[in-house]
């Protein structure tokens, strides 16, 4: 591999979004429970906090796996606005089950062979603004 090819590969790797931990903000609005993944700005709702979080787990997993499969990495580079991060910081830590998401990593994006990755989930409950 030439020096130029190595530099191009490294520049692509450095610019990839890096996720090793997910932050969920759980709130209630108009009688619905809202789960918001702040790292990639995705939202799900449910009748209970647990149902909203489980829906969000499925949505986040599908979103990340599709992003990896299509190599459209900009799709996971959007973070939630600062106001939601502030609510998260002020919120009360809660335990969710599961606490990790298992993400299937396509061979086409693997540098070192690995079939899946685990992302830890931290959750906090807060009052909606």
Domain assignment present for residue 1? The answer is no
What is the full per-residue pLDDT of the chain (129 aa) written as tens digits? 556 555 554 444 444 456 778 999 999 988 899 999 999 999 999 999 999 999 999 999 999 988 888 888 888 889 999 999 999 999 999 998 878 888 887 776 655 445 556 777 888 898 765
Question: Is 101 a domain residue?
Answer: yes
The pLDDT of residue 129 is 57
pLDDT value at position 108? 63
State residue 10's pLDDT score: 45
Question: How many domains would you assign to the chain?
Answer: 1
95-126: burial string, b at 16+ Cβ within 10 Å, e else: ebeeeebebebeeeeeeeeeeeeebebebbbb
**61: domain range?**
17-125
Q: Is residue 108 part of a domain?
A: yes
3 in a structural domain: no
Instruction: Give residue for tokens 């540098």.
Output: 111
pLDDT of 35 reads 97
- pTM of the predicted model over 0.85: no
Q: The domain spanning residue 58 has which CATH number?
A: 3.30.160
Q: Kindly state whether residue 7 falls inside one of the protein's structural domains.
A: no
């Amino acid at each position: 591999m030439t020096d130029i090819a190595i530099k191009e590969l490294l520049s692509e790797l450095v610019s990839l979004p890096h996720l090793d931990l997910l932050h969920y903000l759980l709130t209630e609005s108009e009688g619905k429970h809202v789960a918001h993944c702040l790292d990639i700005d995705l939202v799900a709702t449910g009748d209970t906090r647990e149902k909203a979080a489980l829906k969000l787990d499925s949505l986040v997993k599908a979103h990340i796996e599709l992003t990896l499969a299509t190599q459209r990495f900009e799709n996971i580079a959007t973070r939630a606005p600062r106001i939601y991060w502030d609510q998260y910081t002020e919120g009360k830590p809660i335990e969710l089950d599961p606490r990790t998401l298992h993400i299937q990593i396509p061979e086409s994006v693997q540098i070192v062979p690995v079939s899946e990755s685990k992302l830890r989930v931290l959750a906090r409950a807060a009052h909606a603004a």
